[in-house]
Structure 1
Amino acid sequence: MSFLRLWSGNTACGIATWALPFVLGFAVSQDILSAIDLGLFLALRSLGFLAAVPIGGVMADRIGSRRIILASSLIAACGALLICIGLAWDGQAASLLIGAGVLLSGIGQGASRPVYQSIVPRVVPVADLQTANAALSLSVRGTILVGPAAATLIATAFGVTAAFLAIGVLWTISALLPPWPAEPRKQAGPSTPHAAYMRLFAEDFIEGYREARRHPWFFAALAALCAVVATGYSVTNVLVPVISADLFDDATLLACSVTAYMSGALVGAVVVSSWNPAKRGWWALAGLGSYALVPLSLLAAETFWIPMAAYALAGFGMELFNVIWFTAIQDGIAREKLARVSSLDFIVSYGLAPLGLSAIAPLSAFIGITPILVATAVICMLAAILASVAPTAAEFRLKRT
């Protein structure tokens, strides 16, 4: 029952997270917001997200993950409420309120992401971590589809304000529903000055970095993940729409590739939920490297089944990596430093993604799409291979002495 409550809270958090940008986009389509507004608000959301990730990780290890889930989810709910209030106003005040609401939503999302990962070992026995992570991953994949679709349906039927209110309700569920496991607290004294709090925060974050550095597999796999996210994911988001329009005169390739990827990911989550390979690190990195199939398949995108098969295999492989990766972090990292190490994961992987997105389009215009696809495939493959030769990478755990 405790894990079911955690799973449900995580699902509500995921739906709310993925729904927000789609509702903002829907507001643009209804001439409620401008395209310039959308770009600014999404930038504010990303800024709040990245700023809150390390804060959430440090505070979770200091006062408990469940308290941070409560606080971050309520902050995001307040953000959704501010957006609703802003939509009812006119002029500059409306933009300020909506911008503040989007920023708060990003802060809530960023603080909650690593904390939902760090609380799992408090609720689930070590032997069941991989199965639990597979179930949580299934939730994530489902919310990527359900969140935007449900939000768009509500916005169409009842209006944009109703969609943002629904997002606020979901964040309230995320705040209140998860269980309250026993967690240690490590707080500064009541008379600690502000400067000392900042010093303690920096020391705590550095301590988390040092804990991560004790595990060579962590930074090796994280570097490989960043390479795939910054290049492979950027190809999917930027070049696939262009290729789809050129070859099929519509978004057929884009829509079907998302479906194939999600289908492969769902199958991967089911398989890895009951499969614990001996060399789990190598299997995970092989799954990560399988994303190289995607840009290679786009070289023959006119043969439709080739990219569809590649996306399905890449989805399967990425899910294999994700579940093993999260399980290894939860199982191998010291419990009292787990949220901080998880926050490092999200800071680096999410922080580098926009760099790839911003570079792919001008690079492809300068040197052409084909060289970009080949280079991306090589980078994804080499990143996984290089990570696999790092010490302790084969098992994703420190060697027993």
Structure 2
Amino acid sequence: MTAAPILAPDAASPWRSPPFRQLMAGRTLISLGSAITPVAMALAVLRLGGSATDLGLVVAAYALLDVVTTLFAGVLGDRFSRTALMRGSAALACVSQAVVAVSLGTGVASVPMLAVMSALNGALAAIAGPSSRAVVPQTVPAAALPTAVSVLRLAQNTAMVLGFSLGGLLVSLFGPGWAIGVNAAVSAAAAVCFTVMTVAPLAAPAAGSLLGDLGAGAREVFRHTWLWVLIIQALVYHLVYGGVQGVVGPVMVTRIFGEAAWGWSLAALMVGFMAGGVVTLRYRPSRMLLSGTAFLALTACFPLAMALPVPLWVVLAGAFLHGFGLEIFSVNWDLAIQQNIAPDKLARVFAFDQVGSFVMRPLGLVLVGPVAERLGERHWLVVTAAVMAGSTALALLPPSVRGLRRQSPPATPTPSPSDPVAPPPSDPVTPPRPDRVPAAAGDQPAP
């Protein structure tokens, strides 16, 4: 008699997979460096005599090229080797950041030059973005995917907290050039991680045009109601909240509680992210989007707390709840996409997710000043909280959002004592494999 199938003891652990460990190391390093550079770049612009407008242009150059490049990066990630795109992006980022570091160290840097290099770095970051998310299912068994998603996001958020702190410390001790030089070294280390990483191959897609592949990705997004509804919800979220975090929030909190209070607020936000990540390691709701989207409503707590006449600890609690709810949603959102989208379209769908989420953020940053001045800052914070909570409630209306279920991992049969036991296999060395192989009739993604 054979026992009922159960999960193998290590089936849900991603740690046994070398490609996952290499992916985690590389992505964590990239997150660390991406948090150091904005701090160093902002202070570099100001030290060169740049104005707030100049700084805005440098930041906008990065954001613009990041958004423009992301869609095409999604096509490339579904057409070519994802690991090759990731290592190429990290290696080129190392070179571009080294150029900036040397120019700042030798005194030849200028604000226009930093704007151009910022735009280049935005494009390089975008090239790897969709692939680094789409490659996750190729690094772990299906049973380990939920844990892998949670761990990757937890490591990323932790690295960003450290990076923001490290960026300011490096600039204050050694100058912005050295800080960006550290990011160049971090990018080089990430490139090494992606170089030694090998994953199971996917069948190469049939030849097609770039625009045709982009259109196929868009059709895949609109084929799933839950997908495009929540992308639109993210668009609304970033339209209204981007201006709160970038403009109105710092003004209000520093005016009432002092400059240090805004730093504490952002720290509480990041602690909320990390706490949410820890919770998702154990909390596995069957209706992942119903639960995740319900937690997303907590993001309204931060702007609402800033709008009310409350003590600082309430504002900090609101920031914590914002990060906590957003992280629980984000983990379930990433998992929903990875479990329900075909592997050969994953990078394009993640690209549309990223662009749909952030494309309206620059507009929100531009409009928030005049709108808040006309309505009053407190009133605009209340409006923002209401829009964030209301859009979340509306996103729960479609049945596909409420009903999408977490996929159960495949079961591994456990033999009974009466079953014959096969001799242990030898331990052959598996040669490195690319993550793309030529497509043929009947090809399926490799296990």
Normalised by the length of structure 1, the TM-score is 0.90
Q: Percent identity?
A: 27
Distance change (3 Å), C-alpha of 1:90 and 1:264: closer
Alpha-carbon spacing, 1:294–1:155, altered in 2? closer, same or farther (3 Å):
closer
Tell me the equivalent position of 1:353.
361
Corresponding position of 1:151:
167
1:202-351 paired onto structure 2 within 5 Å:
202-248=211-257, 250-351=258-359
CA contact (8 A) 2:101 2:181 kept: yes
**Paired residues of 2:104 and 2:177 also in contact (CA < 8 A):** yes
Deviations 1:229-275 (A, max 9, x none): 22134213221211123322x22431222122222221111111122
Q: Can you give the 5+ residue segments of structure 2 that lack an aligned partner in the other structure?
A: 1-17, 408-447
Aligned residue for 2:285, secondary structure, equals: coil
Q: Is the 8 A contact 1:75 1:107 kept in 2?
A: no
| 1:43 aligned partner, one-letter code | A
- Which of 372, 380, 383 aligns to 2:391? It is 383
- Distance (Å, rounded) in 2 between the aligned partners of 1:83 and 1:210: 40
Cα distance change on mapping 1:39 and 1:218 into 2, 3 Å = same
Question: Aligned letter for 1:343?
Answer: A
Q: What residue in structure 2 maps to residue 119 of structure 1?
A: 135
Structure with greater helix percent:
1
Counterpart Cα distance in 2 of 1:15 and 1:33: 26
Contact 2:234-2:356 within 8 A present in 1 as well: no
Quick one: structure 1 residues 188 and 88, their matched pair in 2 at CA, closer, same or farther if it must change by over 3 Å? farther
Give the alignment partner of residue 381 of structure 2, picking from 362, 373, 379.
373
Q: 1:294 to 1:207 in 2, by over 3 A?
A: same
Alpha-carbon distance between aligned partners in 2 of 1:237 and 1:94, rounded to the nearest angstrom: 25
Distance 2:55 2:167 in 1: 17
Seen in structure 2, the aligned counterparts of structure 1 residues 304 and 87 have a Cα distance that, compared at 3 Å, is closer
RMSD: 2.4
Q: Which runs of 5+ in 1 are unaligned?
A: 190-198
Partner secondary structure for residue 199 of structure 2: coil
Is 1:167 paired with 2:183?
A: yes
Describe the shift of the 1:79–1:395 C-alpha distance in structure 2 as closer, same or farther (beyond 3 A): farther
Residues 37-56 of structure 1: matches in 2 within 5 Å? 37-56=54-73
The size of the alignment, in residue pairs, is 389
Q: Deviations over 1:191-247 (max 9, x none)?
A: xxxxxxxx7110111111111222110111111122222213421322121112332
Shift of 1:374: 1.9
Correspondence 1:83 to 2:109: no
Provide Cα deviations, 1:82-106, integer angstroms capped at 9, x if missing partner.
2134335666x85565444222211
Indicate the larger mover: 44-53 or 26-35: 26-35
Larger CA deviation: 203-212 vs 353-362: 353-362
In structure 1, distance between residues paired with 2:205 and 2:232: 33
User: Please, which of 146, 149, 152 is the counterpart of residue 133 of structure 1?
Assistant: 149
- d(CA) in 2 for partners of 1:43, 1:312: 28
TM-score (normalised: structure 2): 0.81
Structure 1 residue aligned with 2:200, among 157, 175, 182?
A: 182
Q: Which has the higher contact order (CA 8 A, sep 6+)?
A: 2
> Is the contact made by 1:230 and 1:353 (CA closer than 8 Å) also made in structure 2?
yes
Secondary structure of 1:393's aligned partner: helix
